[in-house]
Amino acid sequence: MELNDLYRDVILDHNRRPRNFGPLEPADASVEGFNPLCGDRLTVRLKMQGDAIADIRFEGQGCAISTASASLMTEAVKGKTRGEALKLFERVHHLLTDDAASSDELGKLAALSGVREFPARVKCASLCWHTLVSALESPPAAVLPAVSTE
């Protein structure tokens, strides 16, 4: 286990300057994710155009892994269709938990592959993705109860 593998430059950069951070009004869906283990809490908001994610922003507080993962996620799914975003979630989930998973074509998201060496931190990286899935599956303009990783 190497710390530099977990805290790669991309992660540190997105933690320092999270992209798409802040409120999004009006949003078509807004879901809060909560990790009671460490107190990480973030809200993901979506604006949809037909089946596509026209805009996505997040806010909240969390560790570097959770903040960077959310920031990278918003960059990766903006403009994607619901189906494409859900497929990407599957790939990232695989990347975080399976040593054999490939990071080909994942772009900057590949920086998250170091997390799987630190099992205690997988939930930090996946919190935003679970929150996104819940937002994508929510009926239009819904504000759902918080998603929890416990």
Partner 1 sequence: MKNMALAKQTRFDVHAVRRDFPVLARILNGKPLAYLDNGASAQRPEFVIEAVNDYERHHHANIHRGVHTLSQEATARYETARDSLVHFLNARSRREIIFVRGTTEAINLVAQSYARPLLGSGDEILITHLEHHANIVPWQLVCEQTGAKLTVVPMDERGEVPFEAALALMNERTRVFAFTHVSNALGTVLPVKRLVAAAKARGIVTLIDGAQAVPHLPVDVQDLGCDFYAFSGHKLFGPTGIGVLYGRESLLERMPPWQGGGDMILAVTFAKTTYNSLPYKFEAGTPNISGAIGLGAAVDYLRGIDLGGAHAHEHALLAYASESLGAIEDLRIVGTAVDKASLVSFVVKGVHPHDLGTILDEEAIAIRTGHHCAMPVMDFFKLPATARASFAFYNTFEEIDRLCAAVQRARSMFA
Binding region for partner 1 (CB under 8 A) = 1, 3, 6-7, 12, 15-16, 37-41, 61-65, 118, 120-121, 124
Q: How far is the CB of 119 from partner 1 (least distance, A)?
A: 11
Across the beta sheet with 40-49, the strand order is: 52-61, 40-49, 29-35, 142-148
Nearest 5°: the CA angle 6, 11, 94 is 65
Q: Which is nearer to partner 1, 29 or 73 (CB)?
A: 73
Q: How far is the CB of 58 from partner 1 (least distance, A)?
A: 16
Strand partners, 49: 52
Q: How far is the CB of 113 from partner 1 (least distance, A)?
A: 16
Q: Which is nearer to partner 1, 7 or 81 (CB)?
A: 7
Per-residue tokens: 61: 């507080």
C-beta separation of 9 from 106 below 8 A? no
Q: Which is nearer to partner 1, 56 or 127 (CB)?
A: 127
